[in-house]
Amino acid sequence: MDGWVRVQDGRIVGVGGGIPTGGAGEPGGASRGVGREVVEDLRGRFVVPGFVDVHVHGGAGASYQSGRLDEARRVAEFHLGSGTTTTVASLVTGTPGELADGVAGLADAADEGWVAGIHLEGPYLAESRCGAHDPALLRAPDRDEFARLVEAGRGHVRMVTLAPELPGAADLVRDAVRAGVVAAVGHTDATGACVREAFDAGARVATHLFNGMRPLHHREGGPVGAALNDARVIVELINDGVHVEPEVVRLVFAAAAGRVALITDAMSAAGMGDGSYRLGVMTVTVADGRATLEDGTSIAGSTITMADAFRRAVEVVGIPPADASRAASLVPAQALGLDDEIGSLDVGKRADLVVLGEGYSVARVMKDGRWR
């Protein structure tokens, strides 16, 4: 469908269907204001909102885990090139000191606009579902430690993933909600009843649905059943063809329509070749783009970008482009509470756009009204 978007001072100030004719409010129209207006003809390509990735650990050989500003820039710039205009830096489980240092460093990256916040994936996770997290570093929810991490983040801690069956988990969920931090359920062996209690306490996200959690069973729905049946909950999906197979991805889009947030869970190997990498303290081997712990016991994040996740959703899974776009942009923005600023091509929102070429490949990226 033909259409146009008008951008001024980093914001979307007009949208419309059809081919612009120069009327009021259209590009080149009477309301264009003072100064020369540049009109870009995108020649029939798709334009979608900038992708929003609420769960990403690294890319281009760099990792958010170090908390170093230069590495954070490198990761963010790599994913920006693939259309992710808003990214949340995820930290895996570490010692109290390592996490405090990482959060403080990433708060600087957030102050500079490289990341939109920090996601603590752990350390309050179930050992039985720890995945690529070091089980020796896992611990029960510690409200004092969490408060210190929130303080170190200077308002930039956006999300915390925890296992709701651990002692003190419900109290930490409530602490997170009071602090303005999204509580997410993940890396958990909890029953459905226990997960529902966490949702009632204020948890609103299921971290990478199916992965790192008790599987769905017809006599015990577990975290998957609880999340899919709760209209308050956004469910993350890693759509890389490794973590969740296409038939199941299609099932989730049908069961949780309008509540699916595509994520990458990308680690430092994204954008790189096969080889050996680090995820926190764990050694990860990447072969044919598949990342696993060195001993092969667990998948260890992904090597995809949000552009890959979007393209696979449309071309492999068969999701309509509009629904895939919503899952890659608006729903994750809603998870962060930023949907009044980003996530859709609506007047007043930030001018974060992705131009898609043949095969849904990323042709151009605009962030804050500037081509990158």
Give the per-residue SS3 of the chain.
CCEEEEEECCEEEEEEECCCCCCCCCCCCCCCCCCCCCCCCCCCCEEEECEEEEEECEECCEEHHHCCHHHHHHHHHHHHCCCEEEEEEEECCCCHHHHHHHHHHHHHHHHCCCCCCEEEECCCCCHHHCCCCCHHHCCCCCHHHHHHHHHHCCCCEEEEEECCCCCCHHHHHHHHHHCCCEEEECCECCCHHHHHHHHHHCCCEECCCCCCECCCECCECHHHHHHHCCCCCEEEEECCCCCCCHHHHHHHHHHCCCCEEEECCECCCCCCCCEEEEECCEEEEEECCEEEECCCCCECCECCCHHHHHHHHHHHHCCCHHHHHHHHHHHHHHHHCCCCCCCCCCCCCECCEEEECHHHCEEEEEECCEEC
144 is catalytic: no
Out of 240, 265, 308, 339, which one is annotated catalytic? 265
Residue 32 sits at the vertex; the CA angle it makes with 30 and 33, to the nearest 5 degrees, is 105
What residue type is assigned to position 281 of the chain?
Answer: V
Contact between residue 157 and residue 150 where contact means Cβ atoms under 8 Å apart:
yes
- The catalytic residue positions are 265
